[in-house]
Amino acid sequence: MWIEPVLARKLHRVAAPEDLWNRTLMRGADTRVCGLETLSPAEHRDESRCRSLRGRATGAVVVWGMVAAMLVVVLVWGVPSRRDLVISSASAIQIRDWVKANAGLDVPLLADSSNVRLTGARVSHDGVEIACRVGRHDAKLLISKNKSSVQHAALNANSSTISWGMNNRLYTLACATPEDLRIACLLCHSSSERRMALN
Amino acid sequence: MVLDANDREVIEACQRGDYDAFRLLFETYKDRVYSIALRYSGDEAAAMDIAQETFLKLLSSIQSFRGDSSLETWLYRIVVNRCLDHQRSSRKLMPFIQDFLDAGENQLKKLLRAEVENDVQGIVGKLPADQRIVIVLRYTEGLSYEEIAAILNCSKGTVASRLNRAHSVLERRLSHLRGAWGGGNVD
């Protein structure tokens, strides 16, 4: 049949556009993505999870679970402003991709830093805020578009901060203690690089 | 990138919410998903939408994947359903386009119609949905009748029937390419 080779040739597979991944992430963000397992709550409802959520008792658990999750978000992040985008994740690759997609900024976070644990990021009109834990303390890396937002870097009156300019942006690392500050450098630098920079 | 032997491991990682595992799945299947969407819809913007919806659906329903079918079959089902859903949601626009094409036959429109009709993708796009999807799965993905039947949840005979009908229509509408193909060039 002559038509078969014509179709095979004309309907061949093509490469997906380069920006498909970023656009998928952004679309996920539009549907309130906060971590992989809750990427699209609306879609969860019509899938298998829906089947497992039987009965009023289960429904009540879900509602209270959502309330608790919202409280955790508010406690950890504060109340986000209306236009802020927030992601909660411990993956350096995910946060890096997400920040790149939503703020157009490539922050070279290291995926294998055992001393610093990423917890999430926020993109607002002021810039980007990457949150992490150093030991038992919170720490933040703030990347602002202008110097007026430097003061937001301090976690509290006793915190330690360090700021530097790079690529027309101001980077501020804010930690609870000076020692945390040294450790938090591992967010983006290997331990050998850190020693060279701080010595 | 091939997942074959590690499929189960990757799926379990995705079910645990492992971002990197999902990225691996995405990289492995993105071309297949996008190609099906593009060949079915005939439109790059629509294909982008369908591909995004497919991966979001994959992500949101990976918890329910039990391995009763292969990961590929499951993913193909998702993209096929997205294609059909997308067509349903945009169908209301189709009469206007058809009205435009049918209204008057001035020279410009005749040229436009001829251009479209010379394009295999355009002719495939006019097939009924059930025939179009089997054509795409057969020729874009190179799937067997059995594989297509498993994806569409129908019998192998139904797949053969739809393909036969689609072939007949396409042979008729693309008859001008028969000679060109005999000469070795249809591009």
3-state secondary structure of B128: coil
Please report the residues numbered 12 through 41 in chain B whose beta carbons come closer than 8 angstroms to any beta carbon of chain A. 14, 17-20, 22-23, 26, 30-35, 38-39
Question: Average pLDDT in the B116-126 region?
Answer: 77
Fill in the DSSP letter of residue B140: T
Q: Which residue has the higher pLDDT, A89 or B179?
A: A89
The domain made up of B104-187 is a member of CATH 1.10.10.10 = yes
Q: What per-residue confidence (pLDDT) applies to A47?
A: 44
Q: What per-residue confidence (pLDDT) applies to B110?
A: 59
Q: What per-residue confidence (pLDDT) applies to B148?
A: 96
Q: Which residue ranges does chain B devote to CATH 1.10.10.10?
A: 104-187
Q: What per-residue confidence (pLDDT) applies to B23?
A: 87
Q: Does A18 touch chain B if contact means CB atoms closer than 8 Å?
A: no
Q: Which residue ranges does chain B devote to CATH 1.10.1740.10?
A: 1-102
- Tens of pLDDT, residue by residue over A32-67, are 443 444 444 344 444 444 445 455 666 667 677 777
CATH class entry, domain B1-102: mainly alpha
Cβ-Cβ contacts under 8 Å for B135 (sequence gap 6 or more): A7, A11, B124, B127, B163, B166, B170
Above 60 in pLDDT, residue A17? yes
Mean per-residue pLDDT of chain A: 72
Above 80 in pLDDT, residue B118? no
- CB contacts of A12 in chain B (<8 Å) are 35, 139-140
Q: Which residue of B has its CA nearest to A23?
A: B52
Q: Does A45 touch chain B if contact means CB atoms closer than 8 Å?
A: no
With CB atoms and an 8 Å threshold, state whether A17 touches B48: yes
Split at pLDDT 50, 70, 90, the class of A77 is: low
Split at pLDDT 50, 70, 90, the class of A162 is: confident
Closest CA to B47 of A6, A39, A23, A44: A23
Q: What per-residue confidence (pLDDT) applies to A73?
A: 64
Split at pLDDT 50, 70, 90, the class of A115 is: confident
Domain range for A172 = 22-198
Q: What per-residue confidence (pLDDT) applies to A124?
A: 82
Q: What per-residue confidence (pLDDT) applies to A37?
A: 43
Q: How far is the alpha carbon of B103 from chain A, nearest alpha carbon, in Å? A: 30
Among B19, B139, B141, select the one facing A36 at the smallest CB separation: B19
Q: Which residue has the higher pLDDT, A62 or B86?
A: B86
Distance CA A37, CA B32 (A): 24
Among B59, B120, B170, select the one facing A39 at the smallest CB separation: B59
Please report the residues numbered 52 through 111 in chain B whose beta carbons come closer than 8 angstroms to any beta carbon of chain A. 52, 55-57, 59-61, 63-64
Highest mean pLDDT among A67-76, B9-18, B49-58, B169-178: B49-58
Cβ-Cβ contacts under 8 Å for A77 (sequence gap 6 or more): A86, A120, A122, A131
Above 70 in pLDDT, residue A109? yes
Q: How far is the alpha carbon of A76 from chain B, nearest alpha carbon, in Å? A: 21
Q: How far is the alpha carbon of B72 from chain A, nearest alpha carbon, in Å? A: 16
Q: How far is the alpha carbon of A38 from chain B, nearest alpha carbon, in Å? A: 7
Question: Average pLDDT in the A126-142 region?
Answer: 86
Q: What per-residue confidence (pLDDT) applies to B168?
A: 94
Q: How far is the alpha carbon of B53 from chain A, nearest alpha carbon, in Å? A: 8
Q: What per-residue confidence (pLDDT) applies to B90?
A: 64
Q: Does A24 touch chain B if contact means CB atoms closer than 8 Å?
A: yes
Q: What is the 3-state secondary structure (H, E, C) of chain A?
A: CCHHHHHHHHCCCCCCCCCHHHHHHHHHHHCCCCCHHHCCHHHHHCCHHHHHCCHHHHHHHHHHHHHHHHHHHHHHHCCCCCCCEEEECCCHHHHHHHHHHHHCCCCCCCCCCCCEEEEEEEEECCEEEEEEEECCEEEEEEEECCHHHHHHHCCCCCCEEEEEEECCEEEEEEECCHHHHHHHHHHCCCHHHHHHHHC
